[in-house]
Chains A and B, each alone.
Chain A
Amino acid sequence: MIIASYIYIAVRVSIPVLLGITGAIFNEKAGNTNLGIEGMMYMGAFAGFYTAVATNSVIMTLIAACLFGAFGALIYAFATVSLRTNQVVAGLSLTIFGQGVARFLGNTLSGGKGESVRIPDAVTQKVSWKIPVLKDIPFLGRALFGYDMIIYLSIVLVVIAYFYINKTRTGLNLRAVGENPAAADAAGINVSLYKYVHICIGGAFCGLAGAYIGVVYLTTWGNNMIAGKGWIAVALVIFASWNPLKAIYGSLLFGITSLIALRFQDSPISPYLLEMLPYLVTVIILVITSVKIKKENQQPASCGVNYFREER
């Protein structure tokens, strides 16, 4: 039974990272390296938290988180696509901005009294509704069917993202934009539109990731909720070789190492060292996977370079 619980914990930890990776993949497939994943997660976390408290509605919570995340992405898209500012700078600013906005507005949740704010029980109950019968199967019930419904929704979204990017015509066009915007443009693809739309879709994924952390996982408002998971997502995009399905392994890897850290909490090993573990493993994996990868599985070629048609 304990193994089932471990799997349960690991999956819950990895879901926001999975959504974050997928969000980053959408950005990079459109040729934009977006370092603002962390910021958009913060924005989603706040919007989700606020809506949950205000409306008690799960659906509204999810929609609000996606929209606010996409709004952050829209600012970034405007800066990089229309104004052609440096993508790294714009992304870093978005992270700082998102974090700041979430903290500032988050403080108003408690009316400035500094009391801790919790997600209403009604929302928590609705979210953790489980499939009857199936959830009572021993072992499998907990390891496979014991999760809240947002986890299943997320996995479905990630699979859809994979099919969308790799199997559809619009996905083909999107990849063309990310690889060679000049070629895409010459082939009649509206490069700016594709970039805007997909950067915003990426932002929505990040917003959802933030909401998961805030509303489902932690359920208490805190200023440091995301704690670098956005950055982990940015790094694991390489491990996932820009493929949402492989992102599932990448995020699970993070989940499992987090679990190990959690498991040894009571041991004499320094807790700081343990907290470092998932991040350390991510860096190591990153170095290993970056050594040699097939040409098709590399970063879209135009990432980081803004496109201007009339450039000579």
Chain B
Amino acid sequence: MQDCILHCFFNFLIICDKGDSVNNVLFELRGITKLFGNVVANKNIDFSVREGEIHALLGENGSGKTTLMNILSGIYTPDSGTIIINGEEVTIKSPEDAIKLGIGMIHQHFKLVDVFSAKENIIMGQSGSIRQNQKNLTREIEELSNRFGLNINLDKKIYQMSVSEKQTVEIMKVLFRKSKILILDEPTAVLTPQEIDKLFEILRELRDDGCAIVIITHKLNEVMEISDRVTILRKGESVATVETKQTNAKELTELMVGHSVDLSIERPVVEDKTKDVLQVDNLTIFDEDGVKVIDGMSFALDGGEILGVAGVAGSGQKELCEAIAGLHPVAEGSIEFKGRNIVGLNPNEIINLGVSMSFIPEDRLGMGLVANMDMVDNVILKDYKRQKGLLLSRKPARKTALKMVEDLDIVTQGVQYPIRLLSGGNVQKVLLGREINSSPQLLITAYPVRGLDINSSYVIYDMLNEQKKKGVAVLYIGEDLNVLLELCDRIMVICGGRIMGMVEPKDVTIEDLGLMMTGHTYSQILAERGTGK
């Protein structure tokens, strides 16, 4: 109660300070607690958002941000606590209830039906007459997109769309339902810098319209750029709510992690590099549908170097990794590993040569580890071929697993527990640790920090740097452009299976990378820069 009074008083001060229209609290969560089995996901959280406000919900992975918002949008039901919207206490039992109350959530993994068109996705679940009144609906949707400058082909199927187009559909879905409360879960994770700017513009417009917007993120620069206030969650508890103007990135990190962190990534210089450990020449690859996914790609990678690959998701990253590992047929061109062409060799032969790949797909477990097996068995998967005889000896694998737990600080109840019981970060450490354990000379790693919190990410960066110092050639497929710029020696930007530029981090800005990811070549950018100055 005292809190509430204080809170109101605080609001009052702000209103006086601004001296403009009164910003009411649009919704409030009080004392929300949610348990999953024994795990406390949310513990007695208070959270409130005003009309015409963009409120960032900041926290590391597993801090309970998404759970809290899923409670508001009816996916989860809280174990205790109340939800108040427009001053009235409400119960939200299903997403249907939430929609009726004007709550719209854009989930991190889009909730869209792939085989439906944009329009069908927007109108599904809406009440109304049993017939689909096509003309009226189309006009209504078009009006909406004009108003917010959203550009989308309504008849295009979702599976043919790029990630940013899908997100636009999600936004239109929420707008079409006239939601007053918008929740966006990690909306920028897969967008280029230019697309992020566009998204933020739309969000600001909605804010000025009086919507209450919650943006879930763990990217500090975005919090600073877009939000009016920030609430920080740590381990399921609300740590603080602050005005964005009165804080800074460093303070926010400390609140989020609980102690001070050095935010810069180390980039050691390796003197004696082995030349051209990997040499890819004029590589061309088609996918199962006969679409060209890699188009005449040529590059070289030295030992003792981290080569970053930047690109919008689906630009050919997966196929490139798979081709090098021998998992995807190559139509044309050669892949030379230490001077030997490995095209046509089977994955096992390639592994024996010293090439290792760890690919973290979106669901994290999909490729590389068996979720229901324990750590020891997962280690055996990779090295059972080196053992002789009919029966497997688990002892060496067990030793390796125990060493991994110690070296990499893996949090587990024991190496005999199934991998799926580990948290995402620890699973990724196991995967990368196992690959490194086979002491490769070429390490391909895709999205190794996908969905990891700050601490775990830095452990992974250190692991990669360690390998680099040993003279291993590292091909790093990344998402976060800031990380690519800090960690990698060179960055290769790809778009539609073609190399747009091979650049050194010191020569480019994050915007340049964004432009290249969307199809501008580096020479074009240089030319524009030349005329600009």
Q: Which of A162-212 contact B (CB under 8 A)?
A: 167-170, 172-173, 175-176, 179-180, 182-190
Chain A nearest CB, measured from B114 CB (Å): 7
Instruction: Let me know if A115 is at the binding interface, CB within 8 A.
Output: no
Residues on A with C-beta less than 8 A from B458 are none
Interface centre among A182, A183, A310, A312 (most CB of B within 10 A): A183
Instruction: Let me know if B403 is at the binding interface, CB within 8 A.
Output: no
Q: Tell me the complex Cα distance, A122–B113, Å.
A: 51
Chain B nearest CB, measured from A248 CB (Å): 23
Question: Do the beta carbons of B157 and A173 come within 8 Å of each other?
Answer: no
Question: Do the beta carbons of B115 and A187 come within 8 Å of each other?
Answer: no
Instruction: Let me know if B40 is at the binding interface, CB within 8 A.
Output: no
Instruction: Let me know if B129 is at the binding interface, CB within 8 A.
Output: yes
Q: Tell me the complex Cα distance, A188–B178, Å.
A: 14
Question: Do the beta carbons of B124 and A310 come within 8 Å of each other?
Answer: no
Given the known interface contacts A169-B126, A187-B125, A189-B124, the answer about A295 and B113 at a Cβ–Cβ threshold of 8 Å is no
Question: Do the beta carbons of B131 and A167 come within 8 Å of each other?
Answer: yes
Q: Which of B154-179 contact A (CB under 8 A)?
A: 157, 159, 173
Question: Do the beta carbons of B130 and A188 come within 8 Å of each other?
Answer: no
Given the known interface contacts A169-B132, A312-B36, the answer about A189 and B125 at a Cβ–Cβ threshold of 8 Å is yes
Interface centre among B36, B124, B131 (most CB of A within 10 A): B124
Instruction: Let me know if B286 is at the binding interface, CB within 8 A.
Output: no
Residues on B with C-beta less than 8 A from A260 are none
Find the A residue at minimum CB distance from B133: A169
Residues on A with C-beta less than 8 A from B173 are 187
Chain B nearest CB, measured from A118 CB (Å): 43
Find the A residue at minimum CB distance from B104: A186
Instruction: Let me know if B26 is at the binding interface, CB within 8 A.
Output: no
Find the A residue at minimum CB distance from B73: A186
Partner pick for A180 among B36, B96, B105, B111, CB 8 A cutoff: B111
Q: Tell me the complex Cα distance, A175–B121, Å.
A: 11
Partner pick for B113 among A167, A168, A175, CB 8 A cutoff: A175
Q: Tell me the complex Cα distance, A173–B123, Å.
A: 9
Find the A residue at minimum CB distance from B173: A187
Question: Do the beta carbons of A187 and B132 come within 8 Å of each other?
Answer: no
Residues on A with C-beta less than 8 A from B128 are 169
Instruction: Let me know if B321 is at the binding interface, CB within 8 A.
Output: no
Chain B nearest CB, measured from A15 CB (Å): 28
Q: Tell me the complex Cα distance, A251–B110, Å.
A: 38
Given the known interface contacts A169-B131, A295-B159, the answer about A310 and B114 at a Cβ–Cβ threshold of 8 Å is no
Given the known interface contacts A167-B131, A309-B75, the answer about A172 and B120 at a Cβ–Cβ threshold of 8 Å is yes
Instruction: Let me know if B112 is at the binding interface, CB within 8 A.
Output: yes
Q: How many residues of A contact B (CB 8 A)?
A: 26
Question: Do the beta carbons of A190 and B132 come within 8 Å of each other?
Answer: no
Q: Tell me the complex Cα distance, A268–B73, Å.
A: 70
Instruction: Let me know if A155 is at the binding interface, CB within 8 A.
Output: no
Find the A residue at minimum CB distance from B77: A310
Question: Do the beta carbons of A184 and B76 come within 8 Å of each other?
Answer: no
Given the known interface contacts A176-B124, A295-B115, A296-B115, the answer about A167 and B132 at a Cβ–Cβ threshold of 8 Å is yes
Q: Tell me the complex Cα distance, A173–B121, Å.
A: 10
Interface centre among A180, A189, A309, A312 (most CB of B within 10 A): A180
Given the known interface contacts A185-B95, A188-B125, the answer about A172 and B132 at a Cβ–Cβ threshold of 8 Å is yes
Question: Do the beta carbons of A173 and B124 come within 8 Å of each other?
Answer: yes
Given the known interface contacts A186-B105, A187-B125, the answer about A176 and B113 at a Cβ–Cβ threshold of 8 Å is yes
Residues on A with C-beta less than 8 A from B98 are 188
Q: Which of A254-312 contact B (CB under 8 A)?
A: 295-296, 298, 301, 309-310, 312
Interface centre among B110, B115, B126, B130 (most CB of A within 10 A): B115
Q: Tell me the complex Cα distance, A187–B110, Å.
A: 12
Partner pick for A187 among B36, B75, B95, CB 8 A cutoff: B95
Partner pick for A183 among B76, B112, B131, B159, CB 8 A cutoff: B112
Q: Tell me the complex Cα distance, A298–B124, Å.
A: 20
Given the known interface contacts A169-B131, A169-B132, the answer about A186 and B75 at a Cβ–Cβ threshold of 8 Å is yes
Chain A nearest CB, measured from B294 CB (Å): 22
Q: Which of B367-393 contact A (CB under 8 A)?
A: none
Contact with A along B67-102 (1 / 0, CB 8 A): 000000101100000000000000000111011100
Contact with A along B132-146 (1 / 0, CB 8 A): 100000000000000
Q: Tell me the complex Cα distance, A170–B132, Å.
A: 9
Chain B nearest CB, measured from A179 CB (Å): 5
Question: Do the beta carbons of B111 and A182 come within 8 Å of each other?
Answer: yes
Instruction: Let me know if B219 is at the binding interface, CB within 8 A.
Output: no
Residues on B with C-beta less than 8 A from A175 are 113, 116
Chain A nearest CB, measured from B356 CB (Å): 31
Q: Tell me the complex Cα distance, A107–B450, Å.
A: 63
Given the known interface contacts A169-B129, A169-B132, A170-B130, the answer about A187 and B124 at a Cβ–Cβ threshold of 8 Å is yes
Instruction: Let me know if B107 is at the binding interface, CB within 8 A.
Output: yes
Chain A nearest CB, measured from B39 CB (Å): 10
Residues on A with C-beta less than 8 A from B75 are 185-186, 309-310
Interface centre among A186, A296, A301 (most CB of B within 10 A): A186
Q: Tell me the complex Cα distance, A2–B173, Å.
A: 59
Find the A residue at minimum CB distance from B117: A296
Residues on A with C-beta less than 8 A from B110 are 183
Question: Do the beta carbons of A186 and B107 come within 8 Å of each other?
Answer: yes
Chain B nearest CB, measured from A32 CB (Å): 17
Q: Which of B43-75 contact A (CB under 8 A)?
A: 73, 75
Partner pick for B125 among A168, A176, A179, A309, CB 8 A cutoff: A176
Q: Tell me the complex Cα distance, A65–B181, Å.
A: 49
Chain A nearest CB, measured from B423 CB (Å): 12
Residues on B with C-beta less than 8 A from A190 are 94, 96
Question: Do the beta carbons of B111 and A183 come within 8 Å of each other?
Answer: yes
Find the B residue at minimum CB distance from A178: B113
Residues on A with C-beta less than 8 A from B76 are 309-310
Question: Do the beta carbons of B123 and A172 come within 8 Å of each other?
Answer: yes
Given the known interface contacts A295-B159, A309-B75, the answer about A168 and B131 at a Cβ–Cβ threshold of 8 Å is yes
Chain A nearest CB, measured from B108 CB (Å): 12
Q: Tell me the complex Cα distance, A170–B105, Å.
A: 23
Q: Tell me the complex Cα distance, A179–B113, Å.
A: 6
Chain B nearest CB, measured from A23 CB (Å): 21
Interface centre among B73, B95, B112, B130 (most CB of A within 10 A): B95
Q: Tell me the complex Cα distance, A265–B124, Å.
A: 53
The 3 nearest A-B residue pairs measured at CB: A187-B125, A183-B111, A188-B96
Given contacts A173-B124, A179-B113, 9 further A-B contacts (CB under 8 A): A167-B131, A176-B125, A180-B113, A180-B114, A182-B111, A185-B75, A186-B75, A190-B94, A312-B36
Q: Which residues of B contact A (CB under 8 A)?
A: 36, 73, 75-76, 94-96, 98-100, 105, 107, 110-116, 120-121, 123-126, 128-132, 157, 159, 173
24 sample A-B contacts, Cβ–Cβ < 8 Å, listed by A number: A168-B131, A168-B132, A169-B130, A169-B131, A170-B130, A172-B116, A172-B124, A173-B124, A180-B112, A180-B113, A184-B124, A184-B125, A185-B95, A186-B107, A187-B95, A187-B111, A187-B121, A187-B125, A188-B96, A188-B126, A296-B115, A298-B115, A301-B114, A310-B75
